[in-house]
Amino acid sequence: MKYLALIFEGFEDEEAMAPFALLRRAGADLTVASTNTQVTGSYGFTLSNIALIQNLNIDNYDVLIIPGGAHWKFLYQSEMVHNIILDFAKKNKYICGICAAPTLFGRLGLLVNKKYTCFTSMNADFKGIYTDQGVTVDGKLITAKSVAYSLEFAYAIIRETMGQAVLDKVWERIYHEK
């Protein structure tokens, strides 16, 4: 599987970096992409060597990951981002979002009749089933509530897309108690 993560200026640092690091540790083929080759998060951490979205063939990816953070406003206004999310949904690929990101899915109509979670104050009537849990998985939709669940979000992505055996190996390497 190939993983695509979208980040823009103002992404939530931990919601991005914790899953990215754990996915790479699990051996994921992860591409982090944006409209710039360097992106700075909400707390000043700058990621460089970022792939340019416009140079990617989105069809080559199986899993979409979107961290939350202040960049959600840009994501919400970006037709390009909407098209990417909708394309993944149409092709029944994995869509993963944490904190504010699941609200984008809701505004695009992707949470109807689905179990999901998101940053509590950003929940709206998305016609889905809001769980208020740290992480919620419904088929190929993986959502997390907030930065406090960044590790659990990464674990869910690894478990759902690579299997429990791979997650167990990651846990073993990071001394995670089961």
* Mean pLDDT value across the chain: 96
Note the pLDDT of residue 126: 97
Question: Is 90 exceeded by the pLDDT of residue 74?
Answer: no
Whole-angstrom CA distances from 102 to 24, 32, 36, 110, 117 are: 23, 18, 23, 9, 7
Note the pLDDT of residue 89: 98
Contact 41, 10 (CB under 8 A): yes
Cβ contacts of 177 within 8 Å, gap of 6 or more: none
Question: Is 90 exceeded by the pLDDT of residue 177?
Answer: no
CA 90 to chain centre: 17
Q: 148: which 2 tokens?
A: 């406090």
Residue with the larger pLDDT of the pair 74 and 143 = 143
List, for residues 1-60, the tens digit of each pLDDT value. Answer: 999 999 999 999 999 999 999 999 999 999 999 999 999 999 999 999 999 999 999 999
pTM for the model: 0.97
For 99, half-sphere exposure in the C-beta direction (CA atoms, 13 angstrom radius) is 20
Domains of the chain, start order: 2-173 (3.40.50.880)
Closest CA to 4 of 79, 42, 169, 19: 19
List, for residues 104-139, the tens digit of each pLDDT value. Answer: 999 999 999 999 999 999 999 999 999 999 999 999
Phi, psi of 97 (to 5 degrees): -145, 150
Place of tokens 């979205």: 53
